[in-house]
Amino acid sequence: MVLSDYLPGYAGAVVHVELFNPGDSPSVWETDVALNAVGSFTLDPSIPAGRYDVRVRASHWLAKKVPDVPFDQDYIRLDFALTNGDIDGENSVTVLDNARLSSAFDSVPEDTNWDTNADLDGDSSVTNFERSGD
């Protein structure tokens, strides 16, 4: 897992994982998991064997989906590189995200205009150095 433009490291960062029957909605299984120091995570071993579309999302990153993944072995490796910048959680980077970034500009957690999702690089401040949509 790669969380683009994120400074603190992956350990403890939370991602939301959803499994879908291939090409179908809604999800048939979902959970939040914490990443380890190298950006990996483990899912519940009781997930029934089968093929699933796997979707992963983190707080201010765009979701990614990998289609038709076989869950019939002990170890599955999927590589996700999530794009940063989705401050409002709509799974796109638009002028609305920019508006929230602007509203939180020059803030830190103690400020009234602080917005955790606008801190794109995870340095506990919203500054000119926030990056999105690379």
DSSP string for residues in 38-68: TS-----TTSPSEEEEEEEEETTB--EEEEE
Residues 73 and 27 in one domain: yes
Residues 17 and 64 in one domain: yes
Q: Which domain holds residue 14?
A: 2-82
Cβ pair 19, 53 in contact under 8 A: yes
Average pLDDT, the chain: 91
User: Is 133's pLDDT higher than 80?
Assistant: no
Count of the separate structural domains present in the chain: 2
Residues 26 and 41 in one domain: yes
pLDDT digits (tens, 9 = 90+) for 61-98: 999 999 999 998 777 889 899 999 999 999 999 999 99
Residues 78 and 102 in one domain: no
pLDDT at 131: 61
Residues 11 and 45 in one domain: yes
Cα separation, 88 vs 23, whole angstroms: 26
Residues 56 and 91 in one domain: no
What is the share, in percent, of the chain residues with pLDDT greater than 90?
A: 73
Residues 22 and 41 in one domain: yes
Residues 118 and 75 in one domain: no
